[in-house]
Structure 1
Amino acid sequence: MSFEELVQKFEPRVAAAFREAIDGIESAVVLKTIVEHLERGDIAGAVAAIQFEPEAFATLELALREAFNAGGVNFVQSLPSLVASDGTRVLFQFGVRNLEAERLIREQSSTLVANITEDQREALRIAFEAGLSQGKNPTGTALGVIGRINRVTGRREGGTIGLASRQVDFIVRARENLLSGDPALMKQYLDLKTRDKRFDRSVAKAIREGRAVHADMVGKMIGRLSDNNLKLRGEMIGLEETRTALFSVRDNAIHQQIDAGKLAAQDVTKKWKHSGSEHPRIQHIQMANQSVALDMPFTAPDGTLMMYPHDPKAPARHRIGCKCRLEYDIDYIAAGLRRYRARAA
């Protein structure tokens, strides 16, 4: 299985695991409890009542671990068996219980979940405060955050649970623009890539007539905008975290072979390969075919150092949405000769 086939297999699994966690949190929400907190002006209590806790993301962490382990096994299986001059065959293997491998995937998953839960509390605060400040009653504010139950699917829709705080800011601003009656602000909605285009005629009509979009219509539009942004967030988590896991485990798998004496670091070089994506990063295009030693970082034109694409230590501008690849070049002849000489000695 190629690297891209692994990505195609695990990206949707990780995205689905994120959505499963959000569905579980939403299903446990008690509307009455949240409304009671909001009636008292207790925003913190309303946020806490949603129980957005790390334990809810166990399935997401498991999906990442599965991608990590599959990536390590698949990578070593793609390496040809090394045959020394004396005919000795060396089999490359990946240890799923390797201490460094365990540390890498544990650190990645725990960091992801911590970031999601911490940011979510801020996102919920923003959403509750915005609802009340816009004149909604506590029940309307609560439903705007947790969503309304679809009688067909039994799932909540149109809420902001699961969205990042920046997405909630974006959605709050979109609502305000649609209700403003200001043609320039209302037109901004029509530029949103995650909008439901079925509402475009209603917005265009309101702009022509010089009025705000009706509040009930805005509620439906914002609900669809929220759902689309939640789907987008799941997809981005799937892309970013799956690729981070696969690149980090490939690096770990190579080092496992070195630690076992089957290869030497000097036998391995790595090359940055640009993805040719629809919206490429200019800096990553410039990095294409940059080749460095195994334990040396790649250098972006802005000076950023990265051990591989989606390096967790790299800034977001180099990671989010990146689809670049990495190739390893291994000097099997040198490795074979070294093993032969070692045995002869």
Structure 2
Amino acid sequence: MLKRLTPREQFEQLVANFEPLIRKAFEDAIEDIKSRAEIGRIVERLERRDIDGTMKALHLDPAAFRPLDTAISNTFNGGGVATTGRLPPLREPGGGQVIIRFDTRNVRAEDWLRDHSGQLITNIVDDQRIAIRTAMVSGLERGLNPRSTALDIVGRINRVSGVREGGIIGLTAQQERFAASYLEDLLSGDPARMRSTLDRARRDKRFDRSVMKAINEGRSVDAELAGRMVGRYRDRLLQLRGETIARTETMAALNESQMEAMRQAVDGGVDPTTIVKVWHSAHDNRVRDSHREMHGQEVGLNGKFISPSGAMLAYPGDPSAPANEIINCRCWMETKIDFLAGLE
């Protein structure tokens, strides 16, 4: 006999199914942008110091992230179907059966998906433009070769895989600042600054010996080697970016779809006052202290969970909450109906 999954196991299974799809959709979008960038035109525009023209040659627009939009929509639908699917049979006061099927085409559902995905993609694109524009201006001010600057942006082709690696595209503006400061420290010739690069968690440790050798010889890291090191560093920051987006967006889509499934149950006749939401912590040492304290907190369907920080969240990963309450959150929400309370 097959074991019936607990609510937590069901949620974890949904996360395991959909999180990789969202991560891959983001990665595919970035790879597509890099592969379609017009290198020759970018170089030509940089030679003219035409920043706006260079940005156009990158073809960085929201349409490139449609796969991400689709992945989030599929996750939302999967979460909603799972929520309605685990509801026990419902009966009207007269004894008739109440059928509740999750409808992604519901106006509320469509509005949330359109607004949420649209805002996410807009934020990603805008942040990209800031990071890339900053790198272009810096390259021009430092008198770097335009082609070198162009390749720093889109990445250099790996001769083995044929894929561009190490570019700025895909990173947040803050991540690119980290990468830029990493390069500056490697080229500084200052032993203290160079040694500090060995503390960067996302560095490629295979280069550590080269850094120590340069320090011991009283020189900076060779410029070409430093470029390769920063390229690997950017790749790992991009991987982190994809993982963060995947985790955060999976949680938001699955939990919002739970909410929408319950709203649709209310549309079908369930008394909204019988619906309860329960916050569950992930129960490990990676959980935020504030979220650990929220474990077991119960509120009604339209109620808000209250964090010790004062933040109010409709569910774990609520996009309306401060970033420090939702980024990489792994808590989950359980929705329950008190069937003994009856139907409207």
Q: Report the TM-score, using the length of structure 2 for normalisation.
A: 0.93
- Residue deviations 1:112-171, cap 9 Å, x none? 111111111111011222333444211111111111112332211111111111111110
The CA distance in 1 between the partners of 2:35 and 2:176, in whole Å, is: 20
Aligned pairs for 1:101-180 (under 5 A) are 101-180=109-188
Task: Answer with 39-48 or 141-150: which moved more.
Answer: 39-48
Matched residue type, 1:102: E
Q: 1:50 aligns with which of 58, 62, 68?
A: 58
Is residue 100 of structure 2 the alignment partner of residue 68 of structure 1?
A: no
Q: Residue 292 of structure 1 aligns to a residue in which SS?
A: strand
The CA distance in 2 between the partners of 1:208 and 1:291, in whole Å, is: 59
Aligned pairs for 1:256-295 (under 5 A) are 256-261=264-269, 263-295=270-302
Q: Report the TM-score, using the length of structure 1 for normalisation.
A: 0.93
The CA distance in 1 between the partners of 2:192 and 2:283, in whole Å, is: 36
Alpha-carbon offset, residue 205 of structure 1: 2.0
Is residue 90 of structure 2 the alignment partner of residue 82 of structure 1?
A: yes
Which structure 2 segments of 5+ residues have no match? none
Task: Answer with 320-329 or 86-95: which moved more.
Answer: 86-95
Structure 1's consecutive aligned runs of 4 or more residues displaced over 6 angstroms after TM superposition are none
Q: Judge conservation of contact 1:274–1:325 (CA < 8 Å) in 2.
A: yes
State the percentage of identical aligned residues: 45
Q: Residue 334 of structure 2 aligns to a residue in which SS?
A: strand
Is residue 30 of structure 2 the alignment partner of residue 34 of structure 1?
A: no
Q: Over aligned residues, Cα RMSD in angstroms?
A: 1.6
Equivalent position of 1:24 in the other structure: 32
The CA distance in 2 between the partners of 1:113 and 1:291, in whole Å, is: 32
Aligned length: 336
C-alpha change, 1:171 and 1:195, in structure 2 (3 Å) is same
Aligned pairs for 1:163-312 (under 5 A) are 163-261=171-269, 263-312=270-319
Which structure 1 segments of 5+ residues have no match? 340-345
Q: Judge conservation of contact 1:22–1:162 (CA < 8 Å) in 2.
A: yes
Q: Residue 330 of structure 2 aligns to a residue in which SS?
A: coil
- Residue deviations 1:282-338, cap 9 Å, x none? 111111111112211111112111111111110101011111111123101112xx4
Q: Judge conservation of contact 1:268–1:294 (CA < 8 Å) in 2.
A: yes
The CA distance in 2 between the partners of 1:133 and 1:12, in whole Å, is: 40
The CA distance in 2 between the partners of 1:29 and 1:130, in whole Å, is: 20
The CA distance in 2 between the partners of 1:192 and 1:122, in whole Å, is: 23
